[in-house]
Structure 1
Amino acid sequence: MTRIGRIPILDLSPQLPDNLWPVKAFAGEVVPFGATAFREGHDLIGAMLLLTSPDGTLTRHPMSPGAPGTDRWETEVLLGSQGRWQYRVRAYADEWATWHHNASVKIPAGIDVELMFLIGAEMLATAGTDTGRPVAERRLFTTAAKTLGDVTASVDSRFTVLSDPKLLAAVAVRPITGLESVSEPRTILVERTRAGVGSWYEFFPRSEGAVRREDGSWQSGTFRTAAKRLPAVAAMGFDVVYLPPIHPIGRAYRKGPNNTLHAGPDDPGSPWAIGSAEGGHDAIHPDLGTLADFGFFLDAAKESGVEIAIDLALQASPDHPWVTEHPEWFTTLPDGSIAYAENPPKKYQDIYPINFDNDPAGIRAEVLRIVRHWIAAGVKIFRVDNPHTKPLDFWEWLIAAVAEEAPDVFFLAEAFTRPALLQGLGKVGFQQSYTYFTWRNTKEELEEFFDGLAHQTADFVRPNLFVNTPDILSEYLQFGGPAAFKIRAALAATAAPTWGLYSGFELYESVARPGAEENIDNEKYEYRPRDFAEAEKSGASLAPYLTLLNRIRAEHPALGQLRNLDVHTSEDEAMLVYSKFLDAPFTGTGEPDALVIVANVDPHSVRQTVVHLDVTRFGIAEGASFEVEDLITGARWTWTADNFVRLDAFTEPVHILHVKGPVT
């Protein structure tokens, strides 16, 4: 038995290495399909994508040759509905194309003229009897066959059949074929659009509405006071609000301000130290309110057009009910103590990690129960804390089990870890992932990073480009001033369909705790109410710029795609250039959408250089000039493939240019 068809079809894409899991996409994503197909000799072949939607509808999409000499065939399709799609590639001997090529060469040269006409006439006559074709098409083929076979007509009149536009259009849609092969099927799991496109905003509900008492202690904010922040977040264009853990916090080894080992009686502790006498992962911290108050918060979010993501942190404080009810779920050391969490030199004495190998069935049942509990409460998005410290097979099982019951639920992996593990989490099911974006700052680093996201891992890693977190205040932000905040926000908002930030970013919070890459007076360990309105009033807020970025994202569908990013070049080591392009059939407007982003990634300088564009990557013909509009400033210029650019980091460090010219 042979393993290959009469016309070989190899290297299908998209597919995951080893084809162990389905490719990921989201509803509305434009997915590039490809295959290598060829045959012996010089006869021409064609290729067709056979795509089956979740409801069983089969559609056919002609594939076009890729780069010359590669035998690669390609097409792009927008996958519009959620569910499991299947695709195959059909490769076939293209009898029309082979004859058309030979006839175009031989007949003008006077070689085998009548033979070529006879071959063409018989081929079209046979196609004219194909009852699988529309009647009008069959008549078209029959007429053309008679013209070719009319030996009384002139050669020139018969030769016009080769350029008949109606005939060419018909065979382009339904080729006249001979030998064929069909590949094995591949699966694409298409998830809801929010799993692939969104603007995230993180805040601590306990800080929103927190009030200092007369004795200097704090009264915690609640879900009801935090709900008052939601309209302002939505007004900035954010559509997902992520909350750190909302559960009771343990008191044993509770951390004080700035991660000190001794907490005062009124210090709230880290919300990631989950569990106390008040309950564990299925409970709400009493200071925040009740389950009914959480429901009020969810309703307020929905009214503002925002979804709520909560934290799934599978760990426990020493006070968690699990510690006494299920001590086997933890690691007991030889001295009888339970191992706490460590990431040397960091130590988390207030947190016990779970040992997933001691009672895997019991742990799985409990975690699924917890996730079901919050889904029943109205949660559809979970941000997972440190998933790379848990077994990969556990996540594969959990995500599949949840998807079977609630396909709209998705999970974001806080996967700051090695590439193989980060990518593995995506392969087994995580719909989104944090990335190394916060540590990619130079032009060279960003070029490699963005190209990899768009063209190397897009089938299984869907990046969420957070610019900061409670744990990450990069050196770039610490020392780059307001320009650094603008640059990082603009890059994150334009390079990937999903991006996010942690509250305080818009206030340029940049002072780090000595010896750490995180904010001083970190909100993980204390209340941090902020006066956003006063900052905006005084002009000390980045909120208007963030609002503009999210508006640009909403107005330009090209920014809602991941795979369409192309890196271009400049003559300056700090000037990063890339484009995003979405062709007219996919935009929903009937017009193509093309953007060119030019960023001065050095927040301390004014840079000027010449940028060089491959304009064909965003729909412009080589040698053509075109109009661009800067969506940040409103300025307009006429550009070509080579353009002088000057960007002042202290005023506007980034161009987001909408290509207004002759996009075709």
Structure 2
Amino acid sequence: MVGRIPVVDVHPLVQNGTRPAKATVGEAQPVRATVFREGHDRLGAEVVLVAPDGTRGAPVRMREIAKGLDRYEAWVAPSGVGDWGFEIQAFGDVLATWQHTAEMKIPAGVDVDLTFAEGLLLLDRLEDAHGPAPHATALRQALTDTARPLEARLAVITSPETTALFEALPLRDLLTVEGPFPLAVDRTRALTGAWYEFFPRSEGATVDPDSGRVVSGTFRTAQHSLQRVVEMNFDVLYLPPVHPIGEVGRKGANNTLDPSSDDVGSPWAIGSRHGGHDAIHPDLGTLADFDAFVAEANRLGLEVAMDFALQAAPDHPWVDAHPEFFTTRADGTIAYAENPPKKYQDIYPINFDNDPAGIYAEAERILRFWMDRGVRIFRVDNPHTKPTDFWEWLLARIRKTDPDVVFLSEAFTRPARMHGLGAAGFHQSYTYFTWRTEKTEIEEYLREVSNESDHTMRPAFWPNTPDILHAFLQYGGPAAFRIRATLAALGSPTWGMYAGYELCEHVAVRPGSEEYLDSEKFQIRVRDWDAALAEGRTIAPDIARLNALRREIPALQTLRGLRIHWSDDDHVLVFTKGAGAATVIVVLNLDPHGGRSTTVHLDWRALGLDEHFPVREHLTGEDWWWGEHNWVSLDPGHQVAHVLTIRSA
């Protein structure tokens, strides 16, 4: 039933409150509701956070954000990891009602003495409930000092100090409590992080001078690449599958069906005579080598993320030990994976309906195996091709014992599925960012992920992956790579890139394709990182600066509160994060082929800024004065963006 003072249309709720909304330790987020009552008396509304142990925090007053529509909002921030909740408490605000009555009646000479008397009674109630308050003495004098002019007495009643007193120490008549509504509060890495992806077999790979054969890198050689990742200021190193690769149905270079004996196969074709999901590919080393790699990464300040791909090669040990895990066709063969027109003859998908108990238990066993080896982040391959209720079960099991473990969903799929996986427990998700390249669609998408779906799905912006080389990068030159990296790194608190991006690798396997030529999914890539840096063939310094800015500027570590502003040029994007002195302003030229000069217009009032304010440009170190209208000129061959923060005058 509706409460005495109705509270409806509560946000954030996921699936009508049956699933928890997403929150992060220390991350401020809005709580909104429509609150109304009968008649003309005033009401108040507050948000109260409920900690996992049931402790209720101090109330946070809600403000009306749409005059006349009874829509209220407050921003709150949980202080620890766990299963939190929030309540909305609505009440008849008798103090605000009396204050409004006094404003109306006293100047009109109506019930003046009675109004003062009623105020005294309310002030007595306030002090009985809350004890002496500093401004209460001045207010009591105004209510009782008949020698003072009415105007002076009314001025005290309507003063900001009185209003602040009434809001800080309200009298909550007709209290209505809605909730608690669930919040799943995660550690900061679930919201914020810069990811770098590399294939260990390519790191330290060499070409044998005698045979011309490529010699695989190992976990020991890949350790030397960790410093390169650290120097670019990344937080997370993501490894594609590092397990044995199937030999049956193996693909050749560029996804061909006729591999040679030298072809190494796709890491996502997991399992062979050497083991399955709990084994290391012998070319990469041993489990001890893996442990040493993770330990060294951690020592350098990197977290290691591991790929969790629930599928199997035709010679995975599961095929013989658990044929019920797969789909058997009418001719007795096991069905391989297909996504027409793509065919994956080297991969058997899992059938979750044949033996769900067995599959569920095996999936949990695998995760815990790697968790015990220090892995606390998993990138999950194609989770949208598995049942959502499976993920809800599995992620809840892990969260119950290890709430610090983070799962990134690689779900390039329809919005309902992406959001459904977020509701099921995934902490982050890949997004449509890769395919948003025009100004208007970028603006719309930034608004969506930061203000509309933020309670359900945390976005991770990736300008490239081993599967995706967008045409914007194929034909835009190094400027295109700088533009997309800047937008990803500054537009989302989590972003990532796949190795080779800093070298601006841009050649597709064929015109119109988003697949890389000589894709690293099917072969080892030998790169000379040091030579590229020495010869100026890398944008690694630009990447390092972007990631450094993400650490230096707190607003860039947030998702919510992003605001789009206007520019007069269809290729110049303007957005801000934060407000007041914590505001960061990003101006980005989206055109990799030409310079853009235009005026950008900032809604300084909405940002809580003065009409004119001093700024620091972080990419050049220059200091300027900005205001509502500002002239900018950005040449992509020199500088693709401005990143501005507010400085003290």
Query: Does the alignment reach a TM-score above 0.5?
Result: yes
Name the amino acid aligned to 2:41: D
Determine whether 1:223 maps to 2:241: no
Determine whether 1:607 maps to 2:603: no
What residue in structure 2 maps to residue 119 of structure 1?
118
Judge which range, 480-489 or 594-603, deviates more.
Answer: 594-603
Cα separation, 2, equivalents of 1:21 and 1:429:
9
1:286 Cα offset (Å): 0.8
What residue in structure 2 maps to residue 43 of structure 1?
41
Cα separation, 2, equivalents of 1:193 and 1:107:
53
| SS at 2:480 equivalent | helix
What residue in structure 2 maps to residue 68 of structure 1?
67
| SS at 1:366 equivalent | helix
What residue in structure 2 maps to residue 334 of structure 1?
330
Determine whether 1:422 maps to 2:409: no
8 Å Cα contact 1:44-1:94 kept in structure 2: yes
Cα separation, 2, equivalents of 1:48 and 1:178:
13
Cα separation, 1, equivalents of 2:322 and 2:148:
92
Cα separation, 2, equivalents of 1:322 and 1:299:
30
Name the amino acid aligned to 2:17: N
8 Å Cα contact 2:50-2:180 kept in structure 1: no
Judge which range, 465-474 or 211-220, deviates more.
Answer: 211-220
Report the CA distance shift for 1:574/1:330 in structure 2 as closer, same or farther (over 3 A). Answer: same
Name the amino acid aligned to 1:73: Y
Cα separation, 2, equivalents of 1:609 and 1:273:
50
What residue in structure 2 maps to residue 587 of structure 1?
none
What residue in structure 1 maps to residue 373 of structure 2?
377
1:246 Cα offset (Å): 0.5
Deviation digits for residues 295-350 of structure 1 (CA, Å, limit 9, x no counterpart): 10011001110000010010000010111111111111112211111111111111
What residue in structure 2 maps to residue 524 of structure 1?
521
1:16 Cα offset (Å): 1.3
What residue in structure 2 maps to residue 256 of structure 1?
252
Report the CA distance shift for 1:203/1:419 in structure 2 as closer, same or farther (over 3 A). Answer: same
| SS at 1:79 equivalent | coil
Report the CA distance shift for 1:110/1:555 in structure 2 as closer, same or farther (over 3 A). Answer: same
8 Å Cα contact 1:250-1:350 kept in structure 2: yes
| SS at 1:184 equivalent | strand
Among residues 557, 560, 563, which one is paired with 1:563 in the alignment?
560
1:142 Cα offset (Å): 7.2
Judge which range, 181-190 or 551-560, deviates more.
Answer: 181-190
What residue in structure 2 maps to residue 588 of structure 1?
none
Determine whether 1:625 maps to 2:612: yes
1:168 Cα offset (Å): 4.0
Cα separation, 1, equivalents of 2:569 and 2:36:
43
Among residues 11, 16, 40, which one is paired with 1:18 in the alignment?
16
1:35 Cα offset (Å): 1.2
8 Å Cα contact 2:423-2:456 kept in structure 1: yes
What residue in structure 2 maps to residue 434 of structure 1?
430
What residue in structure 2 maps to residue 286 of structure 1?
282
8 Å Cα contact 2:602-2:628 kept in structure 1: yes
Among residues 18, 27, 39, which one is paired with 1:29 in the alignment?
27
Report the CA distance shift for 1:98/1:203 in structure 2 as closer, same or farther (over 3 A). Answer: same
Determine whether 1:187 maps to 2:182: yes
8 Å Cα contact 1:427-1:460 kept in structure 2: yes
8 Å Cα contact 1:570-1:612 kept in structure 2: yes
8 Å Cα contact 1:580-1:618 kept in structure 2: no
1:153 Cα offset (Å): 5.9
What residue in structure 2 maps to residue 650 of structure 1?
637
Determine whether 1:593 maps to 2:592: no
Determine whether 1:313 maps to 2:300: no
Among residues 548, 552, 562, which one is paired with 2:549 in the alignment?
552
1:173 Cα offset (Å): 1.0
1:182 Cα offset (Å): 1.1
Name the amino acid aligned to 1:162: I
| SS at 1:618 equivalent | coil
Deviation digits for residues 190-244 of structure 1 (CA, Å, limit 9, x no counterpart): 0111111100000000111112222122221111110111122012110100000
1:257 Cα offset (Å): 0.9
1:526 Cα offset (Å): 1.0
Among residues 485, 492, 511, which one is paired with 2:481 in the alignment?
485
| SS at 1:471 equivalent | coil
Cα separation, 1, equivalents of 2:500 and 2:16:
43
Name the amino acid aligned to 2:321: E
1:141 Cα offset (Å): 4.2
What residue in structure 1 maps to residue 441 of structure 2?
445
Deviation digits for residues 109-145 of structure 1 (CA, Å, limit 9, x no counterpart): 3222111111111111232322xx1x332x8647744
For 1:41-440, what aligned pairs fall within 5 Å after superposition?
41-59=39-57, 60-130=59-129, 133=130, 135-137=131-133, 141=136, 144-145=139-140, 148-149=143-144, 155-156=150-151, 158-159=153-154, 161-163=156-158, 167-213=162-208, 214-440=210-436
Determine whether 1:464 maps to 2:463: no
Name the amino acid aligned to 1:616: R
Cα separation, 2, equivalents of 1:245 and 1:470:
13
1:163 Cα offset (Å): 4.9
| SS at 1:183 equivalent | strand
| SS at 1:185 equivalent | strand
Deviation digits for residues 345-403 of structure 1 (CA, Å, limit 9, x no counterpart): 11111111111111111110111111111111111111011111111111111100111
Cα separation, 2, equivalents of 1:142 and 1:543:
63
Give the number of equivalent residue pairs.
646
Judge which range, 30-39 or 173-182, deviates more.
Answer: 173-182
8 Å Cα contact 1:128-1:142 kept in structure 2: no
1:559 Cα offset (Å): 0.6
Structure 2: 5+ residue stretches without partners: none
What residue in structure 2 maps to residue 8 of structure 1?
6
Among residues 622, 640, 652, which one is paired with 2:627 in the alignment?
640
Cα separation, 2, equivalents of 1:558 and 1:521:
39
What residue in structure 2 maps to residue 586 of structure 1?
none
User: What is the TM-score when the length of structure 1 is the normalising length?
Assistant: 0.94
8 Å Cα contact 1:124-1:142 kept in structure 2: no
1:268 Cα offset (Å): 1.1
Cα separation, 1, equivalents of 2:152 and 2:217:
85
Structure 1: 5+ residue stretches without partners: 584-591
Judge which range, 638-647 or 346-355, deviates more.
Answer: 638-647
Cα separation, 1, equivalents of 2:125 and 2:235:
57
8 Å Cα contact 2:126-2:169 kept in structure 1: no
1:426 Cα offset (Å): 0.8
Q: Give every structure 1 segment of 4 or more consecutive aligned residues whose post-TM-superposition deviation is greater than 3 Å.
A: 139-147, 149-161, 163-169
| SS at 2:583 equivalent | strand
Q: CA RMSD in A?
A: 1.7
Cα separation, 2, equivalents of 1:72 and 1:309:
41
8 Å Cα contact 2:429-2:459 kept in structure 1: yes
